[in-house]
Structure 1
Amino acid sequence: MEQYQTLEQALGGLVCTFQRYCRKEGDRRTLSKGELKELLENELPSLKTLQIKDGAFEELMALLDTNKDNQVDFEEYIRFIAAACTFFHDFFRDSPPVQPRVL
């Protein structure tokens, strides 16, 4: 029988993931460009298998950094998470609700 995470556990995981990466360099309340890149590479490994055009990371950083401080704060990170969840929801819309969800 498969184990399912509760929503509470999933939310805790999102917060802990942000906190684990933002504490590596510079401001301990934001993700630097390097920290964001490391987070994406480690926490979203399926991105490595997708064909991503040159400059896509810089475009993503520019979209996420809405206050243009060259950092991604928690609110900006959560907007990204919301967009990623919407993408996953649309991608798996007609699939049975079975874990794990992997692209």
Structure 2
Amino acid sequence: MSANLKGAMVDLIDVFYKYSGKEGDKYTLTKLELKNLLQSELAEFLEGPNDAHVVEKIMRELDDNKDGLVDFQEFVGLVAALTVACNEFFMDLDKCGNK
């Protein structure tokens, strides 16, 4: 894992392109590519990444332009939301520990 912001940005780009383009356009994720990414990279942060309904729901929420694909900008929205949720979780833990 990267120790700096620049490294984190590179890692984010690398992860996206590791999964994109296997079925079609290398600049987007299909539903199957998104499912593979979620299962391999984010399973511990998501409930049911193996459940087709969960993947379908995430796909619908991410696919802003409703083209049936997730581009990099749409993907970053998921990562940002998960990052905010993790930050809030750890802030809550910290507050509970300091009372």
Q: 1:81 to 1:5 in 2, by over 3 A?
A: same
Structure 2, unaligned runs of 5 or more: 95-99
1:101 equivalent in structure 2:
none
Instruction: Tell me, in whole angstroms, the C-alpha distance in 2 between the residues paired with 1:14 and 1:44.
Output: 12
Q: Which runs of 4+ in 1 moved over 3 A?
A: 50-54
Give the counterpart of 1:87 among 85, 88, 99: 85
Q: Following TM superposition, by how much is the alpha carbon of 1:26 offset from its aligned partner in structure 2, in angstroms?
A: 0.6
Aligned partner (choices 47, 64, 67) of residue 65 of structure 2:
67
Percentage identity across aligned positions?
Answer: 38
Quickly say closer, same or farther: Cα 1:54–1:18, change in 2 above 3 A: closer
Higher relative contact order (CA 8 A, sep 6+): 1
C-alpha deviation, 1:56, in angstroms = 2.1
Q: Provide the residue aligned with 1:31 in structure 2.
A: 29
Structure holding more helix per residue: 2
- Equivalences, count: 93
Whole-angstrom CA distance in 2 between matches of 1:30 and 1:84: 20
Q: Any conservation in 1 of the 2:2–2:11 contact (CA below 8 Å)?
A: no
Supply the RMSD in Å over aligned alpha carbons: 2.3
Q: 1:82 to 1:51 in 2, by over 3 A?
A: same
Instruction: Please list every run of 5 or more consecutive structure 1 residues that lacks an aligned counterpart in the other structure.
Output: 97-103
Matches within 5 A, 1:52-63: 55-63=53-61
The match for 1:18 is 16
